[in-house]
Amino acid sequence: MTDTQTRPPVVEELPPSSPGAPALGLRGGARFLWTQLTSMRTALVLLFALAVAAIPGSLVPQEKISPVRVTDFIAEHPVLGPLYDKVGLFHVYTSPWFSAIYLLLFVSLVGCIIPRVGVYARAVRGRPPRTPRNLVRLPAYASVEVDDGSEVLQQAARQLKQQHYRVVTDDTSVSAERGYLREAGNLVFHVSLLVLLLGVAIGALFGFRGTSVVIEGQGFSNNLTQYDDISAGASFSDTDLVPFTVVVKKFDAKFETGDVQRGAARLFEADVEVTDSPGSKPYEKKLEVNKPLNIDGTTVHLIGHGYAPKVTVRDGSGNVAFSGPVVFLPQDGNFTSAGVIKAPDGRPDRLAFEGIFTPTAVSGQGPRSAFPDALIPMLYLNAWSGPPQAETGIPESIYALNTRGMTQLKNTDGSVLAMRLEPGDVYKLPGGQGTIEFDGWARWIKLQIGDTPGAAISLSAIAFAVLGLCLSLFIRPRRVWVRLTPRESGTNLVEVAGLDRADARAGLDEDVAELASQLSGTLADERPSAATKRTEQGKRART
């Protein structure tokens, strides 16, 4: 038996704690997380995530904008509706997960920008880099020989300064650099993006936007009860509303009457009376499309118009159950408009009417308008009646009729009652249930009232972002070196080399060759071959 067979195996003992991944600790872990968060890659990922997170806000109805649609969606989707509500899809832009992405992006951009500002500040204060030892290895290289080299470096410095280079000269060479504004453009772009996010956040928190339909001759007061719909930011309060009043005195609408573009809009103009605050003196203004009023920071836009037929409804007792204009909504480009007239106070039965108003009626073709202006106004109505109903306080649409508990009125032959009224006509309802008179018509306009506090900040940020992007795209950061080397033959070798600090830049070879040609004392169109092409030595060195 050999020694190797009798010798016991040697077991190597490992140290008590083998070196593995170093323990970061609380400070190291926090530093690692901060480094990852403030990297440009993370900022881009967060920006993409924010864009993706905003998609449900345009696909799913939002509670602040359309609460009725949200309620209908939940009723129609008993499974998805409650799930969407739990995860915040009905209020995307104020949900915790959207706010978290927004804030992380904000912090990431701040963390990216601050170190780069320090680096850029040091670069601006610094000097161009020293001349490399082997200029021939640079991407662009040219060399010429001159007899007298006493003025070469001074001439090179002058030429480069004229081209907006920062120049440093020593005994044997010239170092020059330009394009510092490119990094400034990058910083301006990122800072503008940060300010843009801030402006959007301010507008989302404190801004509001709402609409209201105002009939000619009536007015609008800026309080919540006057809005047909309103959407506001999380930090908005009704006390922030400016207490102004706008009275619509007159609204003019003109349309093309010629054969070409017949019916096209030519003028929408409202004469309004504005009162900035209670007790202040009213003043006259004109309100037009794309020419809003600005009342103490709140803008009032004209965004729509239509017709409101004027009717007088008398009940079966002969009393006036309703009188005044009723807003009808346009259904086509010629303003064929549909609406509902309600007289809930009629006795012994309440009355209601569904109708169509045609500004220019077409004879024998049913309720259809042939022109948007009121040339031959006509009102077509059906009638409903029912017993009085107790008021429940539940709001209902003024543009739709709930016929529950009501009966449609019919003629003596059993056909559905259909009325066709011209201005001034009075129609007696069957069974002595009352009358309806078509008194005429008025126009209504739709106002959009809103205030976006961060709009000016956002627009300024976009303008500066475009400026910064242009600087970063079109400014060419470049370094150029010129070296003068005396030779034993009594001549001097002038080497010119350049380096573009941005990819996909053209013209570097030509600029280097032109500078070498100028230093050699020749004209630009008579450059020697040594200055217009790289030397064989340079080619071999670079390959």
- The CATH number covering residue 495 comes to 3.30.310.80
User: Does 267 share its domain with 315?
Assistant: no
pLDDT band at 521 (very low <50, low <70, confident <90, very high): confident
User: Does 161 share its domain with 223?
Assistant: no
- Asked if residue 20 is part of any domain, the answer here is no
User: Does 435 share its domain with 525?
Assistant: no
User: Does 467 share its domain with 482?
Assistant: no
User: Does 373 share its domain with 260?
Assistant: no
β pairing state of 329-330 and 320-325: unpaired
- Asked if residue 22 is part of any domain, the answer here is no
User: Does 244 share its domain with 343?
Assistant: no
Which tokens hold the place of 258?
A: 């010629």
Q: How many structural domains compose the chain?
A: 5
Listed in sequence order, the residues at least 6 apart from 106 whose beta carbon sits closer than 8 Å to its beta carbon are 194, 197, 198
pLDDT band at 206 (very low <50, low <70, confident <90, very high): confident
Interior/surface letters 69-95, b for 16+ CB within 10 angstroms, e for the rest? ebeebbeeeeeebeebeeebbbbbbeb
Torsion angle of alpha carbons 452, 453, 457, 459, nearest 10°?
20
Helix (H, G, I), strand (E, B) or coil at 520: helix
- Asked if residue 376 is part of any domain, the answer here is yes
User: Does 334 share its domain with 372?
Assistant: yes
Distance from chain centroid for Cα 210: 18
What would the pLDDT profile of 230-266 be if each residue is shown by its tens digit? 888 778 888 889 999 999 999 999 999 888 888 888 8
Q: State residue 261's pLDDT score.
A: 86
Q: State residue 7's pLDDT score.
A: 53
Query: Which one has a higher pLDDT value, 248 or 107?
Result: 248
What would the pLDDT profile of 45-97 be if each residue is shown by its tens digit? 988 998 898 888 888 888 776 777 888 888 888 888 889 988 888 888 878 89
- Asked if residue 17 is part of any domain, the answer here is no
Interior/surface letters 16-35, b for 16+ CB within 10 angstroms, e for the rest? eeeeeeeeeeeeeeeeeeee
Q: State residue 538's pLDDT score.
A: 44
pLDDT band at 115 (very low <50, low <70, confident <90, very high): confident
The identity of residue 43, as a single letter, is A
C-alpha to C-alpha distances, 117 to 113, 187, 190, nearest whole angstrom = 6, 7, 11
Q: State residue 362's pLDDT score.
A: 87
Q: Is the per-residue pLDDT at 201 higher than 70?
A: yes
pLDDT band at 470 (very low <50, low <70, confident <90, very high): very high
User: Does 335 share its domain with 433?
Assistant: yes
What would the pLDDT profile of 257-288 be if each residue is shown by its tens digit? 888 888 888 889 999 999 999 989 999 999 99
Residues 381, 357 contacting (CB under 8 angstroms): no
DSSP states of 7-70: SPPP-PPPPSS---SPP-HHHHHHHHHHHHHTSHHHHHHHHHHHHHHTHHHHHS--TTT-HHHH
C-alpha to C-alpha distances, 527 to 350, 454, 493, 508, nearest whole angstrom = 101, 58, 16, 16
Q: State residue 36's pLDDT score.
A: 85
Distance CA 441, CA 373 (A): 12
State mean pLDDT over 282-303.
93
Which tokens hold the place of 239?
A: 């006390």
Query: Which one has a higher pLDDT value, 14 or 246?
Result: 246
- Asked if residue 12 is part of any domain, the answer here is no
Looking at 316-330, 436-450, 473-487, 489-503, which range is the least confident one? 489-503
Q: State residue 23's pLDDT score.
A: 63
- Asked if residue 4 is part of any domain, the answer here is no
Q: Is the per-residue pLDDT at 530 higher than 50?
A: no
Q: Is the per-residue pLDDT at 13 higher than 60?
A: no
C-alpha to C-alpha distances, 419 to 410, 428, 442, nearest whole angstrom = 11, 10, 20
User: Does 75 share its domain with 37?
Assistant: yes
Q: State residue 8's pLDDT score.
A: 52
Torsion angle of alpha carbons 83, 85, 88, 89, nearest 10°?
80
- Asked if residue 243 is part of any domain, the answer here is yes
C-alpha to C-alpha distances, 274 to 200, 227, 244, 264, nearest whole angstrom = 30, 17, 7, 30
Q: State residue 35's pLDDT score.
A: 84
Cis peptide, bond prior to residue 82, ω within 30 of zero: no
Interior/surface letters 189-211, b for 16+ CB within 10 angstroms, e for the rest? bbbbbbbbbebbbbbbebbbbbb
User: Does 462 share its domain with 480?
Assistant: no
β pairing state of 208-215 and 229-232: antiparallel
What would the pLDDT profile of 357-389 be if each residue is shown by its tens digit? 999 998 777 799 999 999 999 999 999 999 988
Q: State residue 529's pLDDT score.
A: 40
Q: State residue 65's pLDDT score.
A: 66
Q: State residue 24's pLDDT score.
A: 64
Alpha helices in 373-454 (DSSP H): none
State mean pLDDT over 184-197.
89
User: Does 237 share its domain with 162?
Assistant: no
Distance CA 149, CA 171 (A): 12
Q: In which domain, by residue range, is 459 found?
A: 185-201+454-473
Which tokens hold the place of 403?
A: 């016929």
Which tokens hold the place of 521?
A: 């004392």
User: Does 504 share its domain with 518?
Assistant: yes
What would the pLDDT profile of 387-403 be if each residue is shown by its tens digit? 988 777 777 788 889 88
Mean pLDDT of the chain: 86
- Asked if residue 297 is part of any domain, the answer here is yes
